[in-house]
Amino acid sequence: MARDRKLTPKINFDLTPLIDIVLQLVIFFMITTTFKTSPGIILQLPASQTAQSIATPELRVVVVSSNEIYVDKTKTNLAGLEPVLRKRVSGSDAKQIRAVLEGRSGAEYQLIISVLDALRLNGVENVGLITRKDKVVQ
- pLDDT by 10s per residue, the chain, length 138: 566 667 777 788 888 999 999 999 999 988 888 665 544 556 566 676 776 665 656 888 888 888 888 888 888 898 898 998 888 888 777 677 888 888 877 788 898 899 999 988 888 888 888 777 666 666
**Distances from the Cα of 92 to the Cα of 9, 89, 103, 119, 138, angstroms:** 80, 6, 25, 14, 49
Q: How much is the pTM?
A: 0.55
Nearest to 88 by CA among 53, 52, 123: 123
What are the extents of the domains in the chain? Answer: 58-129
Domain 58-129 belongs in CATH node 3.30.420.270? yes
